[in-house]
Amino acid sequence: MEIAIVILAAAILFIVKSVKFVPQQSAWVRERLGKYNGTMLPGANFLIPFIDKVAYKHSLKEIPLDVPSQVCITRDNTQLQVDGILYFQVTDAMRASYGSSNYIMAVTQLAQTSLRSVIGKLELDKTFEERELINAQIVAAIDEAALNWGVKVLRYEIKDLTPPHEILQSMQRQITAEREKRALIAASEGRRQEQINIATGEREAAIARSEGEKQAAINRAQGEAASITTVAEATAQAIARVAAAIEQPGGAEAVQLKVAERAVDAYSQVASDADTTLIIPSNMGEISALIGSAMKMMQANGRPSPGAAAAPKAPVAPRPSTAPVPPPPVPGDTAFGRSGF
């Protein structure tokens, strides 16, 4: 009975030592008598007890590795505190086992040295602008060296760039000055645009006013022309009607009466507007002579009317003297003051 128990225990131990189950996304390195014998893939794998053993176990998942912060010096001799994070993956379990005694430390140190080298080639301002370039150069440098370690570097990301406190203050003042400059430029552009808008508005207003004045002048000229034309037509019609009326019986006598009334009105107007005493001739027949002369001119320009032949002719009196000193008044002269006859 005891022998059976021993045999059963040995069988169980043999099975446990012989069968190994590798998890998914893992790779185990098998050694036989201390020598690399193969890589055990996910699933069931068989070993020879006491001869084979699992020497290394690697995860094939993507591994994030925090790279410690370090001081880097830029091209313009400025110190920067830089830290980042590295993402890598084991692609060859055998090389990861035998290529380096500690591939994680090797990748970390290589990332730090590559970062210092890349930062040293850039100026301070470029380090903030060229993060993608820095990341790409670090990945290329690490990936080339990590091929012998069975590691694939996927990407590197800079977490923080911290310049010295004095540099931060200088950068803050520079940013403030730049913002004030942009504000002044924006304000000046606003004033410039305002002046342009005002000038444009004034120009358009002046053009509109000039157009309005031009149109008003044209309208006034057209109105005056129309008025003159209308007055001329009305005058021509009135003259034509007067001429036609003169041709009628009694027309000449009416003209003589109208001319006499106008003469009397003229003498009255002159007497009322004069500042000194007005002396008129004693022979009032001059008015009749004036009327007769007007009628002769009318008869000479047209055929005589029946009434014109019967009109009595007034005797023509001698014209008054134009000497500087007027002759003494004779009986019959009449003096008119400012008030008229």
The string of DSSP letters for 20-89 reads EEEPTTEEEEEEETTEEEEEEPSEEEE--TTTEEEEEEEE-SEEEEEEEEEEEE-TTS-EEEEEEEEEEE
Over 70: is that where the pLDDT of 145 sits?
Answer: yes
Residue reference for tokens 């990936």: 143
pLDDT (average), residues 63-86? 88
pLDDT for position 299: 59
Is the pLDDT reported for residue 270 higher than 80? no
Average pLDDT of the residues in 290-300: 59
Of 84-88, 197-201, 334-338, least confident by mean pLDDT is 334-338
Q: How does pLDDT run across 214-250, given as a tens digit for each residue?
A: 999 999 999 999 999 998 988 888 888 877 777 777 7
Stronger pLDDT, 13 or 99, i.e. the higher one? 99
The tokens describing 12, both together, are 């169980």
**Res. 315: pLDDT tops 60:** no
Encode pLDDT of 120-132 as tens digits: 888 888 888 888 8
How confident is the model at residue 164, as a pLDDT?
82
| pLDDT tens-digit series, residues 176-205 | 898 899 999 999 999 999 999 999 999 999
The predicted model scores a pTM of 0.49
Instruction: Give me the mean pLDDT over the 69-91 stretch.
Output: 89
* Out of 4-8, 25-29, 240-244, 289-293, least confident range: 289-293
pLDDT higher at 30 or 297: 30
**Ranges 41-45, 100-104, 208-212, 311-315: which has the least confidence:** 311-315
pLDDT band at 282 (very low <50, low <70, confident <90, very high): low
Closest CA to 31 of 104, 98, 91, 78: 98
3-state DSSP: the chain helix, strand, coil percent, rounded to 5?
A: 55, 20, 25
Phi, psi of 26 (to 5 degrees): -135, 155
User: Could you give phi then psi for residue 340, rounded to 5 degrees?
Assistant: 115, -150
Contact 87, 62 (CB under 8 A): yes
Average pLDDT, rounded, for the chain: 78
Average confidence (pLDDT) over 135-160: 88
Which helix (H) or strand (E) is 335 found in, with range?
strand 335-336
Residue 198 is predicted with a pLDDT of: 93
